[in-house]
């Protein structure tokens, strides 16, 4: 190991550990040390104290805005988002998110948007436009990333057992098409002229399928609400589906009419509060006209604040009527989900597949659910842990 490696290792440890010994740092290292001390230092929560060097953020929006700019300079976006989340939790900066200058400085992510949505009722008028711009930017980014996979997975479910010589462009089986047209190879152009196209035939639907997304908007489900709202908007844009979106805490709100704009959906939610899952399921059940063509996706941690027994009975009646009831304990990238394990086992015993799902797998999940595939097997093939009866 060279002397340079030793110095670099010492430098990094000094930045990680912080403390008064770092007063000799200069230039960018001093700025980086101040950025880290403001959030993770022992005095970060209270600001500067006499006799101690601290870069605490205090309760100043301009100071926080400068700090947000500094961390974007020193760290990549994923690290910036983690530090922003830590700042909100450690330094209780939610109130400062109501200031326009701070909103303009933040790096939007799902957790930040969920925080803004939860503060929606108290955001002052001067900050509302900026807050909507922050939410709009993230929603647009997520829509761009998630719309394609969702539409491809769900639209028209390809029947790969049947072939057609008049496929749509997106349904062409290029390998078989090339093999069938090798005699038309053009050496001067280095290509094959596809005189005959071979592709997959689309399965014709006998009736319009219905999708109900019933989403728990209690505080623990905040990021799931963001993703569910975006996916609901994509599903609502597909003509082969009739999509409804209902959110709930102790009250039930039907947001189906707002699905053309997921930003409006998010600002219509009220994150936090109690949970009455049974009441929400009862509301959704009333609107189901054709159970045999309905997929009901209940997104909740199953921590019921109302009647657990009535909830299980209602879920059982949905399954018995022919509704395809899927219970998602979370729809996010937050890692292991927290949920009521006993209630999850009871739902699994009813025949409702019960597990957490990440956003990248949700399109494939919906395609499988609409085809009434065995979702427990689907989850097992992807090493997703499902709730089991008797657990």
User: Token digits for 166?
Assistant: 């008049």
Same domain, 227 and 355: yes
Domain end position, chosen among 149, 168, 202: 202
Same domain, 172 and 217: no
pLDDT value, residue 115: 80
Report the pLDDT value the prediction gives residue 45, as an integer from 0 to 100.
Answer: 43
Tell me, what's the pLDDT at 47? 40
The answer to the question of residue 84 being in a domain is: yes
Q: Are 312 and 389 in contact (CB under 8 A)?
A: no
DSSP letter, residue 333: S
Mean pLDDT score of the chain: 81
* pLDDT more than 90, % of the chain: 43
Do 171 and 234 fall into the same domain? no
Q: Are residues 346 and 235 in the same domain?
A: yes
Distance CA 246, CA 281 (A): 9
When pLDDT is averaged across residues 260-280 and rounded to a whole number, the result is: 90
Q: What is the mean pLDDT of residues 363-383?
A: 93
Instruction: Tell which of 92, 107, 122 closes a domain.
Output: 107
Q: Is residue 245 part of a domain?
A: yes
Nearest residue to 348 via CA among 367, 376, 321, 371: 376
The predicted model gives 219-248 an average pLDDT of 92
Does 151 map to a domain?
no
At which of 202, 233, 264 does a domain end? Answer: 202
Q: Is residue 140 part of a domain?
A: no
Q: What is the pLDDT of residue 351?
A: 95
The residue among 364 and 208 whose pLDDT is bigger is 364
Note the pLDDT of residue 39: 72
Q: Measured between alpha carbons, how far is 214 from 228 in angstroms, rounded to an integer? A: 9
pLDDT of 197 = 81
351 torsion bin: left (phi>0), alpha (psi -120 to 50), beta (else): left
User: 125 lies in a domain?
Assistant: no
Is the model's pLDDT at 203 over the cut of 50? Answer: yes
Same structural domain, 332 and 198: no
Q: Hey, what are 186's tokens?
A: 């053009």
- Asked if 181 and 229 sit in the same domain, the reply is no
CATH number at residue 349: 3.40.50.410
Residues 265 and 375 in one domain: yes
Shared domain check, 186 and 74: no
Residue 157: strand, helix, or coil? coil
Residue 278 lies in a domain: yes
Residues 344 and 256 in one domain: yes
Instruction: Inform me whether the pLDDT recorded for 119 exceeds 60.
Output: yes
Overall number of domains in the chain: 3
Of 373 and 37, the structure prediction assigns the larger pLDDT to 373
Are 243 and 360 found together in one domain?
yes
* Across 308-328, average pLDDT: 97
Domain span at residue 214? 209-381
Q: What is the mean pLDDT of residues 335-344?
A: 90
DSSP SS3 for 58: coil
Q: Residue 274 in contact with residue 251, Cβ under 8 Å? A: no
Query: What is the pLDDT, as a whole number, of residue 364?
Result: 93
pLDDT of 383 higher than 60: yes
Whole-number pLDDT of residue 107:
78
Do 45 and 101 lie in a common domain? yes
Q: What is the pLDDT of residue 281?
A: 98
What are the structure tokens assigned to 240, written together? 């082969």
pLDDT one-digit tens code per residue, 63-110: 565 666 677 677 887 787 777 777 777 766 666 677 787 777 777 888
pLDDT at 8: 67
Judged by average pLDDT, the poorest of 53-57, 90-94, 138-142, 188-192 is: 53-57
Longest pairwise C-alpha distance within the chain: 85
| Residue 236 belongs to a domain | yes
Regarding pTM above 0.75, the answer is no
Q: Is residue 149 part of a domain?
A: no
Residues 179 and 243 in one domain: no
**What average pLDDT does this structure show over 283-296?**
96
pLDDT grade, residue 272 (50/70/90)?
Answer: confident
């Amino acid at each position: 190991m060279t002397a340079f490696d030793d110095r670099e290792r010492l430098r990094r440890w000094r930045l990680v550990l912080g403390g008064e010994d770092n007063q000799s740092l200069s230039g960018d290292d001093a700025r980086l040390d101040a950025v880290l001390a403001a959030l993770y230092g022992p005095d970060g929560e209270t600001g500067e104290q006499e006799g101690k060097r601290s870069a605490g953020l205090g309760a100043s929006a301009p100071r926080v805005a400068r700090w947000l700019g500094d961390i974007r300079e020193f760290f990549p976006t994923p690290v910036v988002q983690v530090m922003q989340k830590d700042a909100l939790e450690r330094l209780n900066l939610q109130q400062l998110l109501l200031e326009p200058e701070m909103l303009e400085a933040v790096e939007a992510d799902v957790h930040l948007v969920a925080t803004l949505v939860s503060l929606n009722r108290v955001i002052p008028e001067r900050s509302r436009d900026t807050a909507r711009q922050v939410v709009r930017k993230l929603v647009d980014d997520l829509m761009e990333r998630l719309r394609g996979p969702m539409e491809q997975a769900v639209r028209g479910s390809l029947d790969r057992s049947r072939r057609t010589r008049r496929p749509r462009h997106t349904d062409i089986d290029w390998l078989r098409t090339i093999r069938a047209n090798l005699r038309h190879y053009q050496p001067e152009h280095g290509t094959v002229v596809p005189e005959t196209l071979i592709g997959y035939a689309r399965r014709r639907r006998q009736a319009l399928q219905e999708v109900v997304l019933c989403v728990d908007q209690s505080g623990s489900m905040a990021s799931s609400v963001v993703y569910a709202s975006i996916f609901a908007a994509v599903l609502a844009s597909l003509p082969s589906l009739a999509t409804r979106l209902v959110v709930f805490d102790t009250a039930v709100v039907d947001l189906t009419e707002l699905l053309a704009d997921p930003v409006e959906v998010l600002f219509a939610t009220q994150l936090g509060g109690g949970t009455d899952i049974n009441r929400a399921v009862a509301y959704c059940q009333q609107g189901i006209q054709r159970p045999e063509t309905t997929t009901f996706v209940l997104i909740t941690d199953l921590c019921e604040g109302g009647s657990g027994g009535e909830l299980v009975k209602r879920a059982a009646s949905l399954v018995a009527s022919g509704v395809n009831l899927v219970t998602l304990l979370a729809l996010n990238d937050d890692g292991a989900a927290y949920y009521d394990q006993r209630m999850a086992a009871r739902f699994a015993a009813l025949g409702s597949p019960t597990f957490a799902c990440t956003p990248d797998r949700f399109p494939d999940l919906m395609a499988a659910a609409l085809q009434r595939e065995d979702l427990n097997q689907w989850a097992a093939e992807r090493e997703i842990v499902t709730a089991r009866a008797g657990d």
